[in-house]
Structure 1
Amino acid sequence: MHNKNVGDKGENLATVYLEKLGYKILYRNWRFKFVEIDIIASKENVLHFIEVKTRTGAAFGRPEEAVTKKKMEQMKLGAEEFQYRNPQWKRVQFDVLAIRIFNDGNMEYWLNKDVYF
């Protein structure tokens, strides 16, 4: 599967998974300048900025290992702009959702909540 296809499939799976957990998806692929935030969602009056990483094999490591310091800094920049435009949110959280898609069609989800950087 091509990287873009894997990423798109992962974001679709992430949306369904998060909704099942009670998240309300507000935006997908929200953009500000050069920053893109995969998913912005809310749950229990907390605004969540969620980076989704998907892998179909182990060749490039676990999906969550692909979230770099630079990516997190970009998310923070995007989150600051989003909050500037939407000041009603008082509590925010940064999360990483790692998805592994196996050859047999099974999937593994790992939601790393409230990551710090």
Structure 2
Amino acid sequence: MKFFNLPDERVRREDTPIFKPSVPVLLFIFLLLTWCFLPQWLHRIDETAGNIDQSIWLLILLSLITFLLICGLCWWLMQQFWLVLQLPPIEMMVSQFKVLPIWQQLSFYYASFALFLAAALGCLIAIC
């Protein structure tokens, strides 16, 4: 029995463009291009820079790329689960969140930020 009917987002509407680049996609492309061309740029700036000097920056950049990929994958999985479980619209959940006392809202924000920061740090530690 369905309590909430969500529109099927898999069906493309005529008014939506096929490819709409967003800020995370452009950032990801920029990071990939930087990762490819950073060793040549570092060698042009400082000809005495060895491969180890270049590799440190590449590892940090690779951990940032990994973190963005993990965030994107988690967001996509959450959207798929949202469609399958037929949860209520996000507007309804946000309106219920705003009813909470301010200390509960702040504790949720801080917990979310701490988990997000721990995931980023975990990606950096795993790569480096």
TM-score (norm 2): 0.23
Task: Decide which structure has greater helix share.
Answer: 2
Task: Decide which structure has greater strand share.
Answer: 1
TM-score (norm 1): 0.25
